[in-house]
Chains A and B, each alone.
Chain A
């Protein structure tokens, strides 16, 4: 009987692995709940891409909800996300704020000229320092920030039509109910 112990031990382990695979198909392993959800967004004050002498800050955006979308010209997944933003960005009903992350302004301008510009406004964070405050892992990432400057929803990775329809739109609808 004791000779069967290793076998049973292994079967237990195999069961755990089976569970692990099932669990991963149900959950996105990258999805670490952001500690910033329902917390005020970090203060920022960043230059605009089209006119670096002008800045956009958290304070200047208070009063209306907006979607902050982190992108960069060097980011391949952003190019993948871009057509979705081009098609659906204007239908969100809120400001789509582009957040150009660790990027040379000229590269970003060329990139937007080439692929089209879905953003209402674009701000640049060349050093990526403000992005650290936001807990940005990498581009693309999107933050939904409400009229009071509180982060309400965060998405890591490219926005797809499915994510927008199932998660982002309901979150925006919920915001609109709160602040008529």
Chain B
């Protein structure tokens, strides 16, 4: 009976979402306060019912209710409880429900923190969120019901895909969705702004912390996903340019552009149309990502079951949401050129170049991701562009960004001072070159590795120089406001990330070996000794577990236990052993026994020495932290007085062009 209650809760949530999406819009249009007041209670009610539905699904998993088809397909009696919870979002229907739940978390937060916004504006924003929820609730109820029954009820279920049975998987999707869905807030702000024709810079300021938060979550989600792929897939790679990874990377790039564009719009009033367009794009790409993953239009290692009906529904939804908002943009985007003018040498220009690069990079990734589809359309056969395409173009596009980044903070709005820039160029440049020369001796002249060190020092020096400048020039207590601290953290994170990528890429050692017990391999200064393999068992798997002792100059460094697990439904899954370190990772993946009947004999295995790979995720985490820190700036807290006071009117010029 309970699963049917879940379905009922979703239907009620849909009705409330409809109320939340339609009535406040009418109210805002007619100036009817009663209708506008519907927004908040409807949002709260919707959230309660969605949470109830989600809770019921979790409960069904925890209590092995295999009469629910989704539960039977994704869990079994042997699956430990924590993976049974993770199994809720282990497949299509449940992850959609999670999507909706998180959309509701954002909506409720928005409803709570928008109390001081002008009522008309706030109700429009909440209404847009409601309309997005309507689309997703309809999608769930019509094509992807998680509460469908299975008769007769099986005694035991199938299994959660063993690839997903990893701690990283339990929190990768929720965090990633926090990011994806978070862009709906910036989107809602933009649509509300377009609908109401508000030209004030104020709404961009209100939107900024939300964008930063969403971007921070997205960064964290991507980092977690990358880490999971590294630890779980056993290939030692951390990024594969897989369509699903690209789907999360495109909104990330556009979100990054949006963060910077919003800063310009808020502080200088310029680029307003571009900011609106970017916030539409960021959310559209999140939706597009959902479409690409769910519709089966592209095949990927993240194989979710595809169903043409779902594809058609999402395409229709996508067309309405994105097409509609772009049409609205065409009709209502600021027709007036506003804001203060700026010269060529200014912070605006630098940020614009960055913006352009991120937008082009996102377009490049989109093109690469859709290329197989294009090739099909043009009858070119089954072609996909992989790492060669992305690996060449992406660094090229990011090069100007990295080169310009240290100057950004030093450039003033409107007009930069060439003398200051020269000083930065000189100091950071000398530091970078000096460190690169020193590094060259350590890395045997590997160009990529040298470039990695130079980039880190170049960006790090930029951050450091700016911190020193602020320390000297600004009064104590006002030296590093949160917004600026966040920016510095994120920029430093970029340096750490690039250094990690280039160093690990060029200095890694991989070796496929056949090892008999007692044999030793020497890699990257470490001795890997194979001490044989044996059988072991876990809560729901059996495994052959290798024992590898790593020593360096005779001193013990690590004991590693890579496994080859067999799950109850016969799926085989490699569990690599990773010895993590600040400057290097050691990584062992178990292959096959040379003689299948004698696991105590020799094994094929793959050994990796990966220097500085952890810096890739460290850089990502710094960027995330930067996003969150900037969002916490006091400047973004809405004061009632600031809103009620006559908003600072901009000098608007009619655009006659």
Contacts and interface: CB of A to CB of B under 8 A. Distances in A.
B277 A6 contact: yes
Contact of B323 (A14, A24, A73, A76): A14
A17 B329 contact: no
Nearest to B298: A20
A87 interface: no
A17 B592 contact: no
7 contacts: A3-B329, A7-B326, A17-B295, A19-B377, A72-B570, A74-B569, A74-B570
Interface in A1-28: 3-4, 6-7, 10-11, 13-14, 16-21, 23-25
A14 B315 contact: yes
A180 interface: no
A21 B306 CA distance: 10
Contacts of A19: 373, 377
Nearest to B280: A6
Nearest to B319: A14
Contacts of B376: 20, 23
Contacts of B333: 3
Contacts of A75: 570
Given A7-B323, A74-B570, A126-B596, A21 B315 contact: yes
A7 B327 contact: yes
Interface in B37-91: none
A127 interface: yes
CB-CB nearest 4 A-B residue pairs: A74-B570, A7-B326, A20-B297, A3-B330
Contacts of A20: 295, 297-298, 311, 373, 376-377
Q: Give the dominant DSSP class at A's interface.
A: helix
B655 to A, nearest CB: 11
Interface string B281-299: 0001000000100011111
Contacts of A14: 315, 318-319, 322-323
A24 to B, nearest CB: 6
A16 B592 CA distance: 43
Given A11-B319, A24-B311, 16 more contacts: A4-B330, A6-B329, A14-B322, A14-B323, A16-B370, A16-B374, A17-B373, A18-B315, A20-B311, A20-B377, A21-B315, A24-B296, A32-B382, A72-B570, A74-B569, A76-B158
A165 to B, nearest CB: 24
Nearest to A3: B330
Contacts of A126: 596
B312 interface: yes
B308 interface: yes
Contacts of A23: 376-377
A123 to B, nearest CB: 16
B254 to A, nearest CB: 13
A127 B593 CA distance: 9
Q: Tell which of B318, B370, B376 has the most Cβ of chain A within 10 Å.
A: B376
Contacts of B596: 126-127
B592 A21 contact: no
Contacts of A10: 284, 322-323, 326
A135 B284 CA distance: 39
Contacts of B297: 17, 20-21, 24
B330 A21 contact: no
Size class of the A contact interface (CB-based, 8 Å) = 20 to 34
A30 interface: yes
A17 B323 CA distance: 14
A72 to B, nearest CB: 8
Nearest to B657: A2
Nearest to B595: A127
Contacts of B322: 10, 14
Interface in B303-357: 306, 308, 311-312, 315, 318-319, 322-323, 326-327, 329-330, 333
A6 B296 contact: no
B299 A30 contact: yes
A19 B296 CA distance: 13
A32 B384 CA distance: 13
Contacts of B299: 29-30
A11 B569 CA distance: 44
Interface string A112-135: 000000000000001100000000
Nearest to A103: B570
Nearest to B594: A127
A17 B326 contact: no
Nearest to A21: B311
A26 B160 CA distance: 30
Contacts of A13: 370
A140 to B, nearest CB: 13
Nearest to B566: A74
Contacts of A24: 296-297, 306, 308, 311
Nearest to B568: A74
Interface in A31-64: 32
A46 to B, nearest CB: 13
Contacts of A16: 370, 373-374, 377
A20 B284 CA distance: 18
Contacts of B373: 16-17, 19-20
A93 B626 CA distance: 70
Contacts of B280: 6
A44 B306 CA distance: 36
Q: Tell which of B277, B306, B308, B311 has the most Cβ of chain A within 10 Å.
A: B311
Contacts of A73: 570
Nearest to B312: A21
A89 B327 CA distance: 59
B382 A25 contact: no
